Amino acid sequence: MSSKSKRAALSEAILDIATRTLPGDGDSKTARQAEGEAQGKVPERSAQTSMGTQPPGGGIVRRALEVHREGLVEKIARLERELGQTEGGMRLAELDTATIREVLPTDRHPRAFADPAFRTLRESIARNGQQTPIVVRPAKDGRADSYEIAAGRRRLAACRELGRPVLARIMPLADDEMLGLQYRENAERADISLFERGRWLARLSSERSLSTRRLAELFDLSQASIVEYLKLGRLPDALVDVLADPRELTIDQSRRLHAALAGGEPPSALLDALETARARGTAQQISFALQAVAGRPATARESGRSLIRDRAGRRLATLTRSGNQWVLRWAAGLDDDAVRAIAQRLPDLFEAWERSNGRSKSAKGE
């Protein structure tokens, strides 16, 4: 039955109750009175009937009408439930978790399905039931009893582990609507991390060939924000895998790591330092590793650009390859005397490097 038909049936049932006059009554009973009587709320004058006084108009007809009225009240309640569940083309249903599959890039790190927050969610569903439905759409391939999830992956995983059906809101969603719903749900929840969002956007960009402009339009973000998210999401797996918990990564840490990588694969010194400090937690782990590799020239040879930092992680200079030349740009705010003193020591440092490497000339062409 369509929503329009259900509304019509609901209105007809209410009108039938509101206008029906019971024998012996001086006026018509309203829908509220009829519903009250159907639920056992008997007017005071009915108490006389229970003590033996038969109401005028005959008991058989009256009882028949009361039964009819009770049936209409029940019909109203059922129609209201069905109408609420199918309004706008959506409906609620309990689904077998095996009928639901993933078609969108995952927006969760695997640790999100094993951490304390997930265990708390699973225990809550086991104890109190599932309070919030997931959102799915009918499978695009048209297979019966097959659905594709848009939002609620952890609730689905919890129900799977518990071996129980999952409460789902079934909606006719287009691809862009699926993505928008997935993003909005996570944007409204505090438990999605910057890293998880960055990984999700990076996969969308790669798998669906979406530009930064298109991603910004889809999710109402600035292109600058999209760029930062993509950089965070595109950190090499070799680096991410040794972090204590990549979900703790910040945008600033992402920038610093990319500067250390300089567009290449993570140098072994950086990975070794990250592994050494793994027990310290992500933030201290990254700080320790960046200090350990600060100023190493290997990345400059690999990509032509390197940031030079001191042991505290403060940027000192940028070394860039420009044709056959190297350009050293000092960071703003450094002490002038310190920069001059370092510059005066460069000839001695270069001569020392030549001696250690068996070179006799200070530069080509001399």
Same-domain pairing of 104 and 180 = yes
118/113 Cα distance (integer angstroms): 6
Same-domain pairing of 29 and 66 = yes
109/197 Cα distance (integer angstroms): 10
Residue 359: count other Cβ atoms within 10 Å of its Cβ: 12
At CA 356, angle to CA 352 and CA 361, rounded to 5? 70
Same-domain pairing of 118 and 77 = no
Answer whether residue 213 is part of any domain: no
Q: What confidence score (pLDDT) does residue 95 get?
A: 94
pLDDT higher than 80, residue 302: no
State the average pLDDT over residues 129-136: 92
Instruction: Tell me the pLDDT band of 325, cut-offs 50, 70 and 90.
Output: confident
Of the residues 175, 192, 209, the one at which a domain ends? 192
Confirm if 54 and 23 have CB atoms less than 8 A apart.
no
Pairing of strands 147-151, 134-138: antiparallel
Same-domain pairing of 79 and 94 = no
Answer whether residue 237 is part of any domain: no
Of the residues 170, 192, 214, the one at which a domain ends? 192
- Look at the chain and report how many structural domains it folds into: 2
Domain boundaries, position 132: 90-192
Answer whether residue 126 is part of any domain: yes
Same-domain pairing of 75 and 132 = no
pLDDT higher than 50, residue 32: no
**226 or 9, higher pLDDT:** 226
Could you give phi then psi for residue 134, rounded to 5 degrees?
-80, 175
350/338 Cα distance (integer angstroms): 18
Of the residues 154, 171, 192, the one at which a domain ends? 192
Same-domain pairing of 102 and 73 = no
Answer whether residue 71 is part of any domain: yes
Same-domain pairing of 117 and 72 = no
- 297 token code pair: 């020239």
CA 308 to chain centre: 36
Answer whether residue 101 is part of any domain: yes
Indicate the pTM of the whole model: 0.50
Same-domain pairing of 81 and 112 = no
Same-domain pairing of 101 and 17 = no
Same-domain pairing of 81 and 99 = no
Residue 142 region, left (φ>0) first, then alpha (ψ -120 to 50), else beta? Answer: left
Answer whether residue 290 is part of any domain: no
Strand partners, 315: 309
Query: 87-106 pLDDT, tens per residue?
Result: 455 789 999 999 999 888 87
The CATH number that applies at residue 134 is 3.90.1530.10
Confirm if 170 and 138 have CB atoms less than 8 A apart.
yes
| DSSP line for 331-358 | PTT--HHHHHHHHHHHHHHHHHHHHHTT
Confirm if 201 and 218 have CB atoms less than 8 A apart.
no
Query: 204-258 pLDDT, tens per residue?
Result: 898 888 899 999 998 888 999 999 999 999 998 888 888 989 989 999 999 989 8
The percent of residues in the chain predicted with pLDDT above 70, rounded, is 65
- Nearest Cα neighbor of 102 from 137, 145, 144, 143 is 137
State the average pLDDT over residues 3-24: 53
Instruction: Tell me the pLDDT band of 299, cut-offs 50, 70 and 90.
Output: very low
Residue 91: count other Cβ atoms within 10 Å of its Cβ: 14
pLDDT higher than 50, residue 131: yes
Answer whether residue 294 is part of any domain: no
Confirm if 45 and 54 have CB atoms less than 8 A apart.
no
Task: Spell out the alpha helix ranges (H) of the chain.
Answer: 3-19, 31-38, 44-50, 59-86, 116-128, 153-162, 175-188, 194-207, 212-219, 223-233, 237-240, 251-261, 268-276, 282-293, 298-303, 336-356
pLDDT higher than 80, residue 259: yes
Same-domain pairing of 171 and 118 = yes
Answer whether residue 148 is part of any domain: yes
- 272 token code pair: 């070794």
Same-domain pairing of 73 and 99 = no
199/217 Cα distance (integer angstroms): 18
